[in-house]
Homo-oligomer: A and B are copies of this chain.
Amino acid sequence: MNNNELHRLLEQVKNNDISIEKAMSNLDTLRSFGDMDFAMIDNNREARVGYPEVVYGEGKTPEQVAKISSYMCSNNQNVLITRANLEMYEAVKEVSSIAEFNELARTITIKNKTIDLSEHTIAIVAAGTSDMPVVEEAYETAIMLGNRAIKIVDVGVAGIHRLFNRLEEIKKARVVIVVAGMEGALASVVGGLIDKPIIAVPTSVGYGANLGGIATLLAMLNSCSSGISVVNIDNGFGAAYSASMINQLV
């Protein structure tokens, strides 16, 4: 419940549009966290940092994920679960029939409230087809956080004219996410061509001396282009989260 919603609720109380009891129940979500024994849902996160808590699925049981989803639905929050799998989705479906599963992105989303999209756009630019799972995770996150977003994929530097062909679209965005594996050179090349902040996401696409994405990560951190900051390997969610904060600055 953000401040606008809180204001509206109290007006309803004032105007007798809602009973004290109902209001009290609704206000329950204002408590700083919901203690679920195995988890403490951070309820005032939206007020504090701008978005409700996002659920990191990895290492949780389908039951835990479903219970957290149920709790958040009961507070009328939108739900975004990352690193999710089919078992989790089936469990979540039981508590919310409108839950959606993007298998490639490994995300479950529940849209309990309408999402108003931002004025500005996030461009998600990716080097290769194999980077699609990370692109999808970033895209789903961007949308859930209320951003317009476009996907531009398979424009890696081995065929640099493909990138130049899409450059105008990229330049129109307010912030750019560059997703790449292998040597990650796409981030440096884009960084040398545009004047917008770039969030680079190294992916674990590669083998051998790629070291599960570490080579890509190091390359991006050492970019000779300026204006590039980096998130963890395969962290499409984190990139979109940072990009969203930037995209919605007023």
Mark out the residues of chain A between 30 and 57 whose CB falls within 8 Å of any chain B CB in the assembled complex: 32-33, 38-40, 42, 44-45, 48-51, 53-54, 56
- Residues of chain B within 8 A (CB-CB) of A92 are none
Partner of A235, one of B127, B160, B208: B208
Which stretch from A4-12, A15-23, A107-115, A241-249 is at the chain B interface? Answer: A241-249
A125: interface (CB < 8 Å) = no
Name the residue among A183, A198, A205 with the largest chain B CB count within 10 angstroms.
A183
Partner of A218, one of B128, B211, B224: B211
State A51–B231 Cα separation when bound (angstroms).
Answer: 24
Partner of A215, one of B32, B215, B226, B231: B215
Residue of chain B at shortest CB distance from A47: B195
Mark out the residues of chain A between 225 and 241 whose CB falls within 8 Å of any chain B CB in the assembled complex: 225-235, 237-239, 241
Number of interface residues of A (CB under 8 A): 95
**Cβ contact within 8 Å between B191 and A207:** no
State A32–B238 Cα separation when bound (angstroms).
Answer: 34
Partner of A183, one of B219, B233, B235: B219
Name the residue among A53, A60, A227 with the largest chain B CB count within 10 angstroms.
A227
A199: interface (CB < 8 Å) = yes
Partner of A156, one of B127, B155, B224: B224
State A191–B98 Cα separation when bound (angstroms).
Answer: 31
Partner of A222, one of B48, B129, B216: B216
Instruction: Using known A-B contacts A38-B153, A212-B208, determine if residue A130 contacts B199 with beta carbons closer than 8 Å.
Output: no
State A206–B212 Cα separation when bound (angstroms).
Answer: 14
Closest 5 CB pairs of A and B: A208-B233, A59-B130, A185-B185, A229-B229, A215-B218
22 contacts between A and B (CB under 8 A): A32-B162, A38-B129, A39-B129, A45-B159, A48-B193, A54-B226, A83-B207, A158-B191, A159-B192, A175-B246, A183-B183, A189-B189, A196-B245, A197-B245, A198-B242, A202-B208, A204-B208, A208-B232, A210-B232, A216-B219, A219-B219, A227-B241
